[in-house]
Amino acid sequence: MRNFLVLAGFFLISLYLFFPGHQGMLVTDVNGWFNAYEKMGWHGLLYSFNDKSLHYLYHLAFFLCFKLFGFYTPYWAVFYCLLHAIAATTGFILFRKIYQALALPLSAMMAFCGSLLFLLNAYNAEPVLWAACIHYPLCVTFTLAALIFSIDYALYGRKKSAWFFVICYVCALFLLEL
């Protein structure tokens, strides 16, 4: 429940900060990918729309957003603000686990303050306000989730956590060149 409240609060803050810039989300290389998506359609997903990088999940996510939202930037902005809030909340969960494992006082408060700083950081404006950057919040979220699962495996020996670590890390690899 606490994680959901953090997510909801971060989402509202993200909307307040970033939504006003939504009209500039669909510029430059976004249009090139949209042209490829329209030309190749669903079949283009099989070979990552001729992208030379291993961005299979990037194109899946971006293509689905294109199909769902079209050129209507308010929908894009709300979704990207949600992705940004999810990344910040995942950071909160990770660092709370680390600080609690170290038995640090005020571990939840320190984790919250750090993730709030991530949420408010001006360097995060580009991944939230430029639609082509969908891979950044997704990659951060999958990488942090992988670390959360690795901590669970290290502390509790849960084999399921080891598998989730591998799955999340591989997903992160197919979003962005780590």
Predicted local confidence at residue 137, as pLDDT: 95
Question: Residue 30 is which amino acid?
Answer: V
Predicted local confidence at residue 53, as pLDDT: 83
- Taking the alpha carbons at both ends of the chain, their separation in whole angstroms is 32
Predicted local confidence at residue 108, as pLDDT: 95
Predicted local confidence at residue 13, as pLDDT: 97
Taking the C-alpha atoms of residue 132 and residue 25, their distance in angstroms, rounded to an integer, is 8
Predicted local confidence at residue 178, as pLDDT: 59
Taking the C-alpha atoms of residue 121 and residue 144, their distance in angstroms, rounded to an integer, is 18
Predicted local confidence at residue 52, as pLDDT: 85
Predicted confidence (pLDDT) per residue in 104-119, tens digit: 999 999 999 999 999 9
Predicted local confidence at residue 177, as pLDDT: 67
Taking the C-alpha atoms of residue 142 and residue 97, their distance in angstroms, rounded to an integer, is 16
**Is residue 71 within 8 Å of 98, Cβ to Cβ?**
no
Q: How many CB atoms lie within 10 A of CB 12?
A: 12
* pLDDT averages per 10-residue partition of the chain, 178 residues: 94 96 87 93 92 89 96 96 98 96 94 96 89 93 97 94 97 83
Contacts 24+ apart (CB under 8 A), 166-169: 168/142, 168/143, 169/142, 169/143
Predicted local confidence at residue 107, as pLDDT: 93
Q: What's the whole-model pTM score?
A: 0.93
